[in-house]
Amino acid sequence: MTIPLRAPRDIAAPGTGRVGDSPLRPDGTLKVKGEFAYSSDLWMDGMLWGATLRSPHPRARIVSIDIAEALAHPGVHAVLTHEDVPGRKHYGLDHTWDQPVLAIGEVRHQGEPIALVAADHPETARRAMDKIRIEWEVLEPLVDARRAAFDPAYPQVQERKNPARHQPVRVGDVARAKQEAEVVVTGVYEVGIQDQAFLGPESGLAVPAEDGGVDLYVATQWMHNDLKQIAPCLGLPEEKIRMTLSGVGGAFGGREDLSMQIHAAMLALRTGRPVKMVYNRHESFFGHVHRHPAQMRYEYGATRDGKILYADVEIILDGGAYTSATLNVVGNAASLGVGPYEIPNIKIDAYGVYTNNPPCGAMRGFGAVQACFAYESMMDKLAAACGLDPVTIRQINACKQGSKLATGQVIEAPLPMAEMLQTARELPLPPPLDPTDLRNLPGGASQTTHGEGVRRGIGYGVGIKNICFSEGFDDYSTARVRLEVIGGEATALVHTAAAEVGQGLVTIEAQIARTELGVDRVVIHPADNRVGDAGSSSASRQSYMTGGAVKVACEAVRERVFELVPVRLGRTYPDLSLEGGKVVSASAGVLASIEDVLGEEVIEETREFHHHPTTGMDPVTGQGSTHTQLAMCVHRAVVDVDVELGLVKVVELAAVQDVGKVINRVSVEGQIHGGSAQGLGLAVMEEIVVTGGKVRNPSFTDYLIPTVLDMPPMRLEILENADPRAPYGLRGVGEPPTLSSTPAIVAAIRDATGLDLNRVPVRPEHITSPAAP
Partner 1 sequence: MRVSFTVNGRRETVDDVWEGESLLYVLRERMGLPGSKNACEQGECGSCTVYLDGTPVCACLVAAGQAEGREVRTVEGLADGDRLDPVQEAFVECGAVQCGFCTPGLVVQAHDLIERVEQPSDAEIREALAGNLCRCTGYEKILDAVRLAAARKAADR
Q: Radius of gyration (Cα) for the chain, nearest Å?
A: 27
Strand partners, 288: none
Inter-CA distances, 710 with 218, 294, 460, Å: 32, 25, 19
Which residue's CB is nearer to ligand FES, number 198 or number 298? Answer: 198
Residues 710, 652 contacting (CB under 8 angstroms): no
- Minimum CB separation of residue 202 from partner 1 in Å reads 12
Position 503 contacts partner 1 (CB under 8 A): yes
429 vs 445: CA distance, rounded Å: 24
Q: Footprint of ligand FES on this chain (CB under 6 A)?
A: 199, 250, 502
The answer to whether residue 29 forms part of the interface with partner 1 (CB under 8 A) is yes
Residue nearer to ligand FES on the CB measure, 324 or 503: 503
Of the listed pieces 18-26, 472-480, 565-573, 587-595, which binds partner 1 according to CB under 8 A? 18-26
**Taking contact as CB under 8 A, which single stretch among the options 77-85, 161-169, 326-334, 670-678 is the one that binds partner 1?**
670-678
> Given candidates 418, 429, 705, 718, which one binds partner 1 under the rule CB under 8 A?
705
Pick 502 or 727: Cβ nearer ligand FES? 502
444 in Cβ contact with 640 (< 8 Å): no
Long-range contacts of 91-95 (CB under 8 A, 24+ apart): 91/229, 91/230, 91/232, 91/233, 91/258, 91/262, 92/229, 92/322, 92/323, 92/324, 93/225, 93/256, 93/257, 93/323, 93/324, 93/325, 93/361, 94/323, 94/325, 94/327, 94/328
One-letter amino acid at 120 equals: D
> Of 280 and 447, which CB lies nearer to partner 1 in the complex structure?
280
Distance in Å, CB of 404 to ligand FES, minimum = 38
CB of 363 to partner 1, least distance (A): 12
Which of the stretches 36-44, 103-111, 538-546, 578-586 binds partner 1 when contact is defined by CB under 8 A?
36-44
# residues contacting partner 1 (CB under 8 A):
66
Separation of alpha carbons 403 and 397, rounded Å: 11
For partner 1, which residue of 197, 458, 523, 688 counts as binding (CB under 8 A)?
A: 197
User: Is residue 290 a contact point for partner 1 (CB under 8 A)?
Assistant: no
Q: Which of 667, 742, 753, 758 binds partner 1 (CB under 8 A)?
A: 667
Burial code (b: 16+ CB inside 10 Å, e: under 16) for 110-139 equals bbbbbbbbbbbebebbebbbebbebeeeeb
**519 and 512 Cβ atoms separated by less than 8 Å:** no
Neighbours of 83 (CB within 10 A): 10
Give the binding range for partner 1 (CB under 8 A) out of 233-241, 409-417, 424-432, 696-704.
696-704
DSSP reduced 3-state for 690: strand
**Could you give the CA distance from residue 578 to residue 594 in angstroms, rounded to a whole number?**
8
Which of 272, 699, 756, 770 is in the footprint of partner 1 by CB under 8 A? 699
Nearest CB to ligand FES, comparing residues 89 and 673: 673
Candidates 17, 36, 208, 552: give the one binding partner 1 (CB under 8 A). 36
Which span sits near partner 1 by CB under 8 A: 110-118, 233-241, 348-356, 699-707? 699-707
Q: Which of 261, 356, 676, 758 is close enough to bind partner 1 by CB under 8 A?
A: 676
Tell me which of partner 1, ligand FES, none is bound by residue 59, counting a contact when its beta carbon lies within the kind-specific cut-off of 5 to 8 angstroms: none
- The stretch near partner 1 (CB under 8 A) out of 100-108, 348-356, 614-622, 668-676 is 668-676
How far out from the chain centre does Cα 717 lie?
23
Closer to partner 1 by Cβ: residue 440 or 593: 440
Q: Which residues of 253-289 are buried (b: 16+ CB within 10 A; e: fewer)?
A: bbbbbbbbbbbbbbbbbbbebbbbbbbeeebbbbbbb
CB of 697 to ligand FES, least distance (A): 16
Distance CA 27, CA 215 (A): 23
- Min CB(311)–ligand FES separation in Å: 38
| 657 touches partner 1 (CB under 8 A) | no
Backbone dihedral angles phi then psi of residue 715, each to the nearest 5 degrees: -115, 130
Residue 713 binds partner 1 (CB under 8 A): yes
Q: Which of 209, 592, 666, 755 binds partner 1 (CB under 8 A)?
A: 666
Query: Three-class SS string for 423-471?
Result: HHHHCCCCCCCCCCCHHHCCCHHHCCCCCCCEEEEEEEEEEEEEECCCC
Residues sharing a CB contact under 8 Å with residue 622, sequence separation 6 or more, in sequence order: 167, 168, 169, 170, 334, 335, 348, 406, 407
Which string of b and e fits 177-211 if b means at least 16 CB within 10 Å? bbeebebebebebbbbbbbbbbebbbbbbbbbbee
Among 323, 326, 537, 678, binds partner 1 (CB under 8 A): 678
Q: Residue 705 binds what, of partner 1, ligand FES, none (CB under 5 to 8 Å, by partner type)?
A: partner 1
Candidates 293-301, 471-479, 624-632, 703-711; binding stretch for partner 1 (CB under 8 A): 703-711
State yes or no: residue 40 binds partner 1 (CB under 8 A): yes
384 φψ region: left (φ > 0), alpha (ψ -120 to 50), beta (else): alpha
By beta-carbon proximity to ligand FES, the closer residue of 670 and 729 is: 670
Q: Which of 157, 204, 468 is nearest to 323 (CA)?
A: 157
Phi-psi region of 409 (alpha: psi -120 to 50; beta: other; left: phi over 0): beta
Residue 43 binds: one of ligand FES, partner 1, none (C-beta under 5 to 8 A by kind): partner 1
Is 404 within 8 Å of 624 (Cβ atoms)? no
* Cβ closest to ligand FES, residue 250 vs residue 692: 250
Task: Establish if 433 lies at the interface with partner 1 (CB under 8 A).
Answer: no
Interacting positions 117-146 with partner 1 (CB under 8 A): 121, 123
Q: What, of partner 1, ligand FES, none, does residue 437 touch, CB below 5 to 8 Å by kind?
A: partner 1
The one among 86, 250, 451, 764 contacting partner 1 by CB under 8 A: 250
Q: Is 700 in the site for partner 1 (CB under 8 A)?
A: yes
Other C-beta atoms closer than 10 Å to the C-beta of 711 total 16
Which residues inside 253-282 make contact with partner 1, applying CB under 8 A?
278, 280-282
450 binds partner 1 (CB under 8 A): no
Which residues in this chain contact partner 1 in the complex, by CB under 8 A?
A: 5-6, 22, 24-25, 27-29, 31-38, 40-41, 43, 121, 123, 196-201, 247-252, 278, 280-282, 437, 439-440, 445, 501-504, 666-667, 669-670, 673-678, 699-701, 705-709, 711, 713-714
